Amino acid sequence: MKVGTRLLFALIALWVVTGIPAKASDAKFITVQSTTSTQNSGLFDFILPVFKKQTGINVRVVAVGTGQALKNGRNGDGDVLFVHAKSAEEQFIVGGYGVKRFDVMYNDFVIVGPASDPARLAETKNIFSALKKISTSKSLFASRGDNSGTHKKELQLWTKTGLDPTLQSGTWYRETGSGMGATLNVAVGMGAYTMTDRATWIAFENKGQMKVLSEGDPLLFNQYGVMLVNPKKHPHVKAELGEKFISWLTDEKGQATIAAYKLKGKQLFFPNAK
């Protein structure tokens, strides 16, 4: 068993030398359930080191869709939620799963699509007419289809337009069931329209022939909120550290840091905590 023993020793040496513990027990940290847009846009990579420097607290981000983040929060798998689906968040609070919800920042959604613009969307500011044009021309539309904040918003807008695209699922309406970036990749690949938050769009590096075709309707407002998972439901929640993160995000220091984050010369998120 020489080879096996040697391998085993090599492995033990690897664990010891590199010293990353298998169990997450190091120092002060909180787990934040958040969305793909805040991660993919690079916001966390920018603001978290600043927060760490000012408070000594490490923030571990699990980036999933808002729907899954809320579900994970409900199960107690995280200390803080940082998401963007206001009514679902309010339900979360009403259900007693979270303590209190705070507005943090906003940006907006845009409709992007192929430069050839088969549905003639360009310059259509009104979101209802934009969606109607896509639907009547039966142009390909890639939907997140994953119960995320963006997906909920998109469905809401279709409903307000008086349309139910899910009836056309599989024809021109394509539900990818994946994150924003993955859905953008799909849209680029098949020349489809899709709705994305502006931050992910600006940061996205595989735009191909796609561009923003409809923007600016006040209904495309995208509000981000933060809340502590209720320690009364889940006693292990690091309430003190989590509250520190929440108050940092919503006070001057955090708000200024969010405003300072720019990518390709553009500000991606606009602080609006009260």
Chain positions contacting another protein, by CB under 8 A: 1, 3, 7-8, 11, 14-15, 18, 20, 22-24, 31, 36, 39-40, 45, 60-63, 72, 74-77, 178-182, 184-185, 203-207, 234, 236
Closest CA relative to residue 70, chosen from 180, 174, 152: 152
Nearer to another protein, 26 or 123 (CB): 26
Q: How far is the CB of 138 from another protein (least distance, A)?
A: 27
Contact present, 224 and 104 (Cβ < 8 Å): yes
Q: How far is the CB of 160 from another protein (least distance, A)?
A: 29
Q: Where are the beta strands (DSSP E) in the chain?
A: 29-34, 58-63, 80-83, 98-114, 141-143, 173-175, 193-197, 210-214, 221-229, 262-263, 266-267, 270-271
Nearer to another protein, 63 or 258 (CB): 63
**Cα–Cα distance, 251 to 256 (Å, whole number):** 9
Nearer to another protein, 112 or 127 (CB): 112
- Reading the block at residue 269, the tokens are 């998120």
**Cα–Cα distance, 198 to 112 (Å, whole number):** 10
Nearer to another protein, 22 or 167 (CB): 22
Nearer to another protein, 8 or 219 (CB): 8
Q: For residue 101, what are the β-bridge partners?
A: 227
Angle at alpha carbon of residue 102, lines to 97 and 106, rounded to 5°: 120
Q: How far is the CB of 23 from another protein (least distance, A)?
A: 6
Q: How far is the CB of 94 from another protein (least distance, A)?
A: 19
Q: How far is the CB of 14 from another protein (least distance, A)?
A: 6
Nearer to another protein, 23 or 274 (CB): 23
Q: How far is the CB of 40 from another protein (least distance, A)?
A: 5
CA dihedral 168, 184, 182, 92 (to 10 degrees): -70
Give backbone dihedrals phi and psi of 204, rounded to 5 degrees, phi first.
-65, 130
